[in-house]
Chains A and B, each alone.
Chain A
Amino acid sequence: MARSALFVLILLTAFSPLLAQAKPGYMEEELNLDALVKAAKAEGELVVYWTSSRITVAAKNFEAKYGIKVKGTKMADPEQAERVIREVDSGKVQVDAIGFEDGPFLEAKLLPDGYVTSWFPKDLASKIAKDDQYPLVYQWQPRVFAYNAEAYPKGNPITNLWQLTEPKWKGKVIVRDPALTPANLAFFATIVGQPEAMAAAYKELYGKALAVKERNAGWEFLRRLFENGLLTMNSDGDIGDAVGAAGQKDPPVGMITMTKMRDNVDKNLKLATCQGLKPFMGYALPTYALLVKNAPHPNAAKLFLRYVCTPEGIAPWTVDNMGGYSSNVEAFVNPANEGSWQVWLPKLLRLDNKGAMKLRQDILDFWLLYGKAN
């Protein structure tokens, strides 16, 4: 008996790296919510870094509900990554949780090396799709091409991505700087991983086969896009302003998250999404919600992570603000969103985190070499 138990134990130990490898950095917890709230309250003010400025609203709502202050700072992915690594390595961790969009780096480094934990409250298991539970996604957004509806009253001027490589759009396509926006690098890498789709789209538009000089049709597209004077800006808001400002004669098109469509009201912009764009309108952008290793306020952090996964917690991104989708099936879907997430998914590219990490340096160098003004 004892011997077989020992045998099982040895077997388990031997295979534990494999078991762990399946979901590195995963931790699920059977919750006693009351106990968690009590422990969280005892810990005091919480610090989070988030990619969205709406975090300050979520922080206020959370404080109103639980009486726990949250210091939420908007921070781009590379800086978050840098800080989390530095803080954890230095043993002086200041941040408790992060809202992070660099999936490839998360899966390649932060989770396997233990910098962050993908913590999952099991009471939400029936509300959140299995795929979104690890690494935990609390929000999905379409990041798609948009045009100026005032300048193009007849509708979407681009129906095929290859049009963006034509002289008509030279210097008139804007994306966030890939060097500082890892999700865009992942987008480009995923395009490179789908040469057939890109070649087919080319044939569909021009009726002839693509002459490929680069490694494949995906690289060929990127090179032509970059050399056509692809513009970059620092934020989706800036791109929305540049594309959507009223009274423009020959406005650009650009990639923005759907949440920026609210600026049509706030700033009198004329943005419209490029519905019908082939082979895809853009990509599905996940925001991961993660617990930092050795977080100084672990319980408050867990409570906050769980909170943003609830219909109430996601509200700053969905209710008073269109464009965001909670990963929680029970959450409110804004009617202004041009359909449910299920309607969006087939129009969007799903980022390939693993493939994107392998190609990251190549894509970045390719951009640095062929991007305009370089």
Chain B
Amino acid sequence: MAESTAFRLRRAGNRARSALRDPTRMLAFLLVLTLSYLVLAPLASMLAGTFRVGVRDSAVSGLATGSFTLRFYQRVFALPISKVLFWRPLGRTLYVALMVSLAAIPAGAAAAYLIKKTDLPGKRWFSKLMMLPYIMPSWTFATVWITLFKNRRMGGTAGLFESLGLSPPDWLAYGALPIIACEALHVFPFAYTLFSNSLGSMDAQLEESARVVGARRGTVARRIVAPLLLPALMSSFLLIFTRVLGSFGTPYILGSPVKYSLLPTALYSAFKSGSPGVSSVIALAMILIGVSLIAVDGFFLREAKRFVTIGVKGSISRVSALGRGKAPALAFMSALVGVSVLAPLATLVLSSLTRRPGDFGPESLTAAYWIGGSIPAMPGLSGVLRSPEVWRAAWNSLRTSAAAALIAGFAGIFVGYVATRSPRSLSTRYLKQLSFVPYLVPSIAFAAAFIGLFAVRRGPIPSLYGTMGLVVLVMSVKYLPYSARAGIASMMQLGNDPEDAARICGAPWRRRMSRIVLPLQKAGLVSGVVLPFITGMKEQSLVIMLASPGTELLTTQVLRYMDYGYSQLANAVVLEIVLIIVALDLGVRKLSGADSPAALGKG
């Protein structure tokens, strides 16, 4: 008996020792530890914050700082004020998401049909240009909209139509309609991509066989094409909902003048007006909504997988002649590209060159917003190319995105490595789940959680409040789902053989990593790094609560300028961001030959 206990103890000791000696297990252990802390602890601390009276809450409520309270839940869900704080923003968020889907999905699907299934002239150009709205930051359209339609309700430089003497009514300038229009312009390429993938992989023989056995066009469309496109439709729907739930810039720019709040802006105003407790409760509700959306998506994906289309010969994709429909089809595509790409960019360029919008006379036309040392009526400011704040913001954007992308990319590869070395272990399953969690949490809620945790010193971790470090950290964790997915995929492809061969030759772990695994992972690493990098360059929802004077990024600098009514400067900075992102995107595509990496990320 005693002997067997001693034996067991010795065996446990041996195991522990060999685990310590096994770098893969050490790595798994370290990853589990760090990621648990970085992903779960902020959420836990946010949850705790929903019950705890903060300093500013204590001033208005008279409760002691740090004491337990249910007040925030009452305010958000139960008291009369909850109508304003939560229920109405919730209703509006759902409404906007629904309308955006109704506008963007048909447009995207129609474009996909024309490009994939017809002889539309210039389709290569159209398909390239159409990804641009998605590559641009999502809120670009909102800044364009304001530049055109701003009326007297908001201060600062007047909008184009206002200065032409046509005062746009409030419903056209702010609120639901513009938010829906701008979000739809941003996301329709996404629906286009999903539908064109589905259409592209659809075997034309299916339709033809149906026609041969006598089915009418309508029947083919209803019984063959529609069911095959259903997954694309559902995915577009759910992704658009997730996006509207997570996007801050557009509803902030277009909604706040008339107090049309969606959930992200409601969370932000609660935070700004001094009630972090209330904003934590809203964040929690948003996370629950996000999780249920993903669950619904998962359900539909599983349903879709139950049906497999099996063809005998190689699939054929046939295009049909547009015939007399050519002119209207071309007009539709040109209008789509014109409204979503050319017009917005032209508006930004022209607005950044004129003092009075729409006036191109010598008194109004100016390069001051770009290169001016000082600008009339904007005391203390200079053109964006000469402004130290903008240069600092650009530098901050570059270095935080780069650092976050590298951290996320390497973490992704390591998660992938552990997943391939021991695919069925508990830690692998845990890591896979864990690295997906940040995807479920809307950006602004995620930032709120991070502020709560890292604002004060905790054990060995110093306070990161107001530092670039916090921005880097929150970005790396938020982008982990992409890079972990990329890392797992590319490590799975590599398999264990090359490393095992090196091990047999006696190479130690460190050398195997640096000479075999990481070099072979270059491609995977690139996609796991580039995507977060570009996403970081256009990130706004995640960083708006963390940015402060000195840690301002390009994207938050835009909002500062807009808040103070300096639309020309804001638009010049937006153009800078768009140029940087498109250049990066083209560069990477040229180098890797891959699909547009920027189009995949969020923004």
Contact = CB atoms under 8 A, between A and B. Distances in A.
B380 A53 contact: yes
Interface string A52-89: 01001100000000000000010100110111011101
Given A92-B463, A241-B155, A85 B84 contact: no
A108 B57 CA distance: 12
A73 B273 contact: no
Given A81-B56, A87-B466, A56 B380 contact: yes
B579 interface: no
A226 to B, nearest CB: 12
B155 A234 contact: yes
B272 A357 contact: no
Interface stretch (B58-66, B184-192, B500-508): B58-66
Q: Interface extent on B, as a size class?
A: 35 or more
Given A81-B56, A94-B466, A373-B259, A267 B377 contact: yes
Given A78-B272, A364-B273, A90 B465 contact: yes
Interface in B147-203: 152-156, 175
B258 A235 contact: no
Contacts of B84: 365, 368-369, 374
Given A89-B455, A92-B463, A374-B84, A241 B156 contact: yes
Nearest to B170: A373
Nearest to A248: B152
B564 A235 contact: yes
Contacts of B549: 49, 73, 75
A267 B274 CA distance: 34
Nearest to A267: B377
A292 interface: no
A361 B80 CA distance: 13
Contacts of B462: 92
Nearest to A72: B549
Contact of B155 (A81, A87, A105, A239): A239
Contact of B457 (A91, A104, A365, A371): A91
A329 B206 CA distance: 91
B542 to A, nearest CB: 18
Nearest to B155: A238
B456 interface: yes
Interface in A233-281: 233-235, 237-239, 241-242, 266-267
B548 interface: yes
A180 B272 contact: yes
Contacts of A233: 154-155
Contact of A87 (B58, B62, B465, B564): B465
Contacts of A41: none
Interface residues of A, number: 49
Interface in B138-153: 152-153
Nearest to B463: A90
B269 interface: yes
Interface in A202-249: 231, 233-235, 237-239, 241-242
A105 B156 CA distance: 30
A360 interface: yes
Contacts of B436: none
Contact of A81 (B83, B274, B379, B463): B274
Nearest to B62: A358
A338 B175 CA distance: 40
B601 interface: no
Interface in B274-303: 274
B155 A361 contact: no
A180 B466 CA distance: 21
A109 B379 contact: no
Interface string A29-54: 00000000000000000000100010
A88 to B, nearest CB: 10
B81 interface: yes
Contacts of B466: 83, 86-87, 92, 94
Interface in A334-374: 357-358, 360-361, 364-365, 368-369, 371-374
Interface in B244-282: 258-260, 269, 272-274
Nearest to B157: A241
Contacts of A373: 175, 258-260
A290 B282 CA distance: 34
**Among the interface residues A85, A87, A92, A179, which one has the most CB atoms of the partner chain B within 10 A?**
A92
B358 interface: no
A81 B274 CA distance: 9
A60 to B, nearest CB: 10
A191 to B, nearest CB: 18
Contacts of A78: 272-274
B563 interface: yes
Contacts of A374: 84, 88, 259
A166 interface: no
A271 to B, nearest CB: 13
A238 B61 CA distance: 32
Contacts of B61: 361
Contact of A89 (B83, B154, B456): B456
The 5 closest A-B pairs by CB, nearest first: A238-B155, A90-B463, A73-B549, A109-B59, A361-B60
15 contacts: A56-B380, A57-B380, A73-B550, A78-B274, A81-B274, A90-B457, A105-B59, A108-B59, A180-B273, A237-B565, A239-B155, A241-B565, A371-B259, A373-B259, A374-B259
Interface of A: 49, 53, 56-57, 73, 75, 78-79, 81-83, 85-87, 89-92, 94, 104-105, 108-109, 113, 179-180, 231, 233-235, 237-239, 241-242, 266-267, 357-358, 360-361, 364-365, 368-369, 371-374
Interface of B: 55-56, 58-62, 65, 80-81, 83-85, 88, 152-156, 175, 258-260, 269, 272-274, 377, 379-380, 451, 455-457, 462-463, 465-466, 548-550, 563-565
